[in-house]
A and B are shown apart, each in its own frame.
Chain A
Amino acid sequence: MSYYEEDDLPRFGEMGKHVPELYDKFMAWYAACQEDGALSKREKALIGLAVSVTIQCPYCIEAYTNSSLENGSNMDQMTEAIHLASAIRGGASLIHGIQSHNAHDKVSM
Chain B
Amino acid sequence: MSFDYVNIQRPGGASGLPVSEKSFRDVLIERGLSLRALAPEVLQVNVGKLCNQACKHCHVDASPTRTEIIEKTTVDACLEAIGKYRIPTLDLTGGAPELIPDFRYFVTNAVQLGAKVIVRHNLTVMTVEGMEDLPEFFAENRVELVSSLPYFQERETDAQRGNGVFEKSIGALRRLNEAGYGMPGSELTLNLVHNPVGAFLPPDQSQIEADFKRELLERYDINFTGLFTITNMPIARYLDWLRRSGNEAKYMSKLVNAFNAATVEGLMCRTTLSVDWLGNLFDCDFNQMLDMRILGDQTIFNLDLKTLVHREIRIANHCFGCTAGGGSSCGGTVV
Contact = CB atoms under 8 A, between A and B. Distances in A.
B88 interface: no
A10 B196 CA distance: 22
B109 interface: no
A51 to B, nearest CB: 20
Interface string B201-224: 111100110010000000000000
Report the contact-size class of chain A (Cβ under 8 Å from the partner): 10 to 19
Considering residues A66, A69, A72, A75, which has the most beta carbons from chain B within 10 angstroms of its beta carbon? Answer: A72
A69 B200 contact: yes
A42 B200 CA distance: 15
18 contacts: A10-B253, A40-B207, A41-B204, A42-B207, A69-B198, A69-B200, A70-B196, A70-B200, A70-B201, A70-B202, A71-B203, A71-B204, A72-B203, A72-B204, A72-B207, A72-B211, A74-B151, A74-B156
B253 A70 contact: no
A70 B195 CA distance: 11
A103 to B, nearest CB: 48
Contacts of B198: 69
A101 B202 CA distance: 51
Interface string B146-158: 0000010101100
Interface in A3-38: 10
B259 to A, nearest CB: 16
A55 B207 CA distance: 29
Contacts of B151: 74
A14 B198 CA distance: 29
Report the contact-size class of chain B (Cβ under 8 Å from the partner): 10 to 19
B241 to A, nearest CB: 16
A70 to B, nearest CB: 5
B142 to A, nearest CB: 32
Interface of B: 151, 153, 155-156, 196, 198, 200-204, 207-208, 211, 253
Contacts of A71: 203-204, 207
Nearest to A36: B204
A72 B153 contact: no
Contacts of B155: 75
Contacts of A66: 200
A74 B153 CA distance: 9
A69 B196 contact: yes
A9 to B, nearest CB: 10
A4 B264 CA distance: 38
A4 B164 CA distance: 40
Interface in A67-85: 69-72, 74-75
B106 to A, nearest CB: 36
Contacts of A72: 203-204, 207-208, 211
Contacts of B208: 72
A75 B155 CA distance: 10
Contacts of A69: 196, 198, 200, 203
B203 A70 contact: yes
A62 to B, nearest CB: 10
